[in-house]
Amino acid sequence: MLEKSPSTALLLLDFIPAVVPAFGGSPDLLQKVQHLANEARISGVPTIFTRTAFRPGSPEVTKSNRLIHQVAHNYPFGEGDLSSEICPELKPSSDDIVVTKRRVSAFFGTDLEIVLRSMHINALVLAGVCTSGVVLSTVRDAADRDYQVTVLVDGCADVHEEDHQYLMNRIIPMHATLSTVDDWLTTLASAAAQPRA
């Protein structure tokens, strides 16, 4: 039997308790993303979560990186803390992959690209918190690595709604296709209904 070679993965960025409420996420967003992840799994789309976490004593954090230094000292991101685990509403399945990162982009310093290349992934569908942080950094990084990128506008949130809107209207479309959760799921269902050659 030939090995299945999926081309698209769902990338769910930093849906962890230390981030979601502090950076603009909400219970409604988590419910929407839970539905998204469940439908992706049913359709056979690999689901990959990222989480931000630091070792005890935060040896990965340096004062020269102002954002990471501020975040690490203002929010609980301990590697073993529940606050840095995936939100319980989105509990990953045994087939899902969880990538731990130490910087903003999901690619920098992680094994994400090894995972994607090994699974023959060339297209990414992204949702995450927050838009001006992990979403923007990962979108740009993925585009520079020649992935086809789709961003689910209503699957993302930012502490400042005006920043979210500006980035979605002006910046992110330069690197990615925009969609909504429902529209992408409709496309996914249509593709699944097509007869196989």
Closest CA to 134 of 162, 169, 103, 105: 105
The DSSP output letter for 84 is: G
pLDDT attached to residue 3? 45
Answer yes or no: are the C-beta atoms of 132 and 161 closer than 8 Å: no
pTM: 0.90
**pLDDT tens digits for range 14-56:** 999 999 998 889 999 999 999 999 999 999 999 999 998 877 7
pLDDT attached to residue 54? 75
Q: From the first residue on, what is the mean pLDDT of each consecutive set of 10 residues in the chain (197 residues)?
A: 66 95 92 98 97 75 73 75 93 96 94 97 97 97 98 97 98 98 95 68
> At residue 181, what are phi and psi to the nearest 5 degrees?
-60, -50
pLDDT attached to residue 64? 75
pLDDT attached to residue 1? 36
Look up tokens 């999926």; give the residue. Answer: 6
Q: How far is Cα 91 from Cα 96, in angstroms, rounded to an integer?
A: 9
What kind and span of H or E run contains 185?
A: helix 181-193
Q: How far is Cα 99 from Cα 42, in angstroms, rounded to an integer?
A: 21
Answer yes or no: are the C-beta atoms of 10 and 46 closer than 8 Å: yes
The DSSP output letter for 122 is: -
Domains identified in the chain and CATH numbers = 8-193 (3.40.50.850)
